């Protein structure tokens, strides 16, 4: 009944789609992971992604330069991250509410700017799939690993870099300390606000890039509200991944692979109801989360504003 799935075309196709679908989640989730490791939950990811998607798209529409688009998306994301940091770190606002506020802001502003500056959807020529000589032409392997747009490669490179920074550098140690026990970190001379500013700004920048990875990387077009809830899934994937880079990678890949599997299952006319198929990624993610939840320990100071006692 399911033998159509076990052809080279289908298997290569499923992995191919899964890797592309995972790209925006990796950027957004890894960035958010750093923010959360330092104790700040940023629920504004969705809004920042949309602003990144729009600003990157608009720059490419005007200049035709995808690298410049990516850079602008990163800067816009970082600025929105800064806004979140000011609200949640300096002003110590309730993080959940400020994040939702930021999302509303991003959804509204990106739609408004799109309407005023562009009007109706127009395609751009963003990053094209990179054909790496020799490697791309290896059968199967070439298709699987060497036929993506630049942002996808960067997203996957970000995993080992995040792992290294978080676990092997002083900065990573400071981030973890601030998220685990801010008082202790403070008493050792680590500036809690400074570390949190850095991670939240970085998280914003990555959310901006995540949006641009869609609008100028994978799809090459902007449409209002095009992230359609991805930002919230990215936040959920941080919990899923247990605040660890490899866990986030596993979560993003699981969700995306199951999503691409269900797309293929429909294309191959497998006897599965489409309504059930589209639920699969969500169901499976919840099941895995439920089974692994016991082992996950969240940063102790997560969502708690830090105020220095006198």
Partner 1 sequence: MRKLSLFMGLLVVVAMFIGACAAPVAPAAPATEAAEAATEAAAPAGEPFKIALIMPSTTTDYSWSQSIYDGLKAVQTEMGGEGALEIAVSENMFQVADAGNAIRDYATNGYDLVIAHGAQYGNPLFEVAKDFPETSFAWGTTTNTGADQGLANVFAYEPAAQEGGYLNGVAAALLSDKNVIGVVGPVEAGDAKLYINGFVAGVKATEPDTAVNVTYTGQFGDTALAAEAANTQIEAGADVLTGSAQQVVGAIQTAKDKGVYWFGSQSDQAPLATDIVVTSVVYDWTKVIKDMIESHNAGTLGGKVFTMTLNDGGQTMVYNDQSTVPAEKMAEIKTAVEAAAKGIQDGSIVPAK
Give the binding site for partner 1 (CB under 8 A).
9-10, 12-13, 16-17, 20-21, 24, 87, 91-94, 97-98, 101-102, 104-105, 107-109, 111-112, 115-116, 119-123, 214, 218-221, 223-228, 230, 259-260, 263-264, 266-269, 274-275, 277-279
Give the residue with the Cβ less far from partner 1, 187 or 228. 228
Smallest distance from partner 1 to CB 230, Å: 7
Token pair 């609008």 in the structure block, residue: 215
Minimum Å gap between C-beta 25 and partner 1 is 10
Closest separation in Å from C-beta 173 to partner 1: 30
Query: Which residue number, 111 or 181, has a Cβ lying nearer to partner 1?
Result: 111
Cβ distance to partner 1 smaller for residue 5 or 132: 5
Cα-based angle 149, 153, 157 (whole degrees, multiple of 5): 165
- CB of 82 or CB of 263, closer to partner 1: 263
Interatomic CA distance for residues 246 and 235, integer angstroms: 15
Kindly state the smallest distance separating residue 137's Cβ from partner 1, in Å.
17
Closest distance to partner 1 from the beta carbon of 121 (Å)? 5
Q: Three-state secondary structure along 188-204? A: CCCCHHHHHHHHHHHHH
Nearer to partner 1, 98 or 162 (CB): 98
Q: Which residue has the tokens 């920042």?
A: 48
CA atoms within 13 A on the CB side of 196: 34
Structure token digits, residue 111: 């739609």
Residue 141 to residues 106, 136, 144, 225, 304: CA-CA distances in angstroms? 39, 8, 5, 35, 46
Q: Which residue lies nearer to partner 1 by CB, 117 or 157? A: 117
Nearest to 99 by CA among 111, 75, 112, 81: 81
Shortest separation between residue 68's beta carbon and partner 1, angstroms: 20
List all residues 6 or more positions away from 9 whose beta carbon is below 8 Å from its beta carbon.
Answer: none
């Amino acid at each position: 009944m399911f033998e159509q799935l076990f052809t080279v075309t289908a298997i290569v196709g499923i992995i191919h789609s899964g890797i592309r679908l995972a790209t925006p989640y990796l950027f957004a989730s890894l960035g958010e992971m750093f923010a959360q490791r330092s104790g700040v939950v940023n629920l504004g990811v969705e809004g920042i992604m949309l602003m990144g998607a729009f600003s990157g798209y608009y720059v490419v529409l005007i200049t035709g330069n995808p690298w410049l688009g990516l850079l602008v998306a990163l800067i816009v994301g970082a600025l929105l991250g800064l806004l979140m940091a000011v609200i949640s770190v300096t002003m110590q606002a309730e993080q959940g509410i400020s994040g939702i506020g930021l999302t509303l802001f991003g959804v509204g502003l990106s739609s408004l700017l799109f309407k005023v500056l562009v009007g109706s959807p127009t395609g751009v020529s963003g990053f094209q799939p990179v054909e790496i000589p020799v490697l791309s032409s290896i059968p199967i392997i070439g298709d699987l690993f060497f036929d993506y747009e630049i942002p996808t490669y960067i997203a996957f490179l970000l995993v080992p870099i995040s792992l290294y920074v978080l676990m092997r550098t002083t900065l990573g140690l400071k981030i973890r300390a601030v998220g685990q026990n801010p008082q202790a970190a403070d008493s050792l001379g680590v500036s809690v606000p400074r570390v949190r500013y850095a991670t939240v700004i970085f998280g914003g920048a990555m959310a901006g890039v995540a949006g641009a990875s869609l609008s100028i990387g994978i799809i090459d077009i902007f449409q209002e509200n095009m992230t359609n809830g991805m930002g919230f899934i990215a936040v959920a994937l941080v919990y899923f991944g247990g605040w660890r880079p490899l866990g986030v990678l596993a979560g993003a890949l699981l969700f995306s692979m199951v999503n691409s599997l269900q797309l293929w299952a429909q294309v191959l006319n497998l006897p599965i109801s489409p309504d059930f198929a589209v639920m699969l990624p969500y169901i499976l993610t919840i099941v895995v989360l439920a089974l692994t939840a016991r082992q996950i320990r969240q940063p102790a100071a997560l969502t708690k504003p830090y105020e220095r006692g006198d």
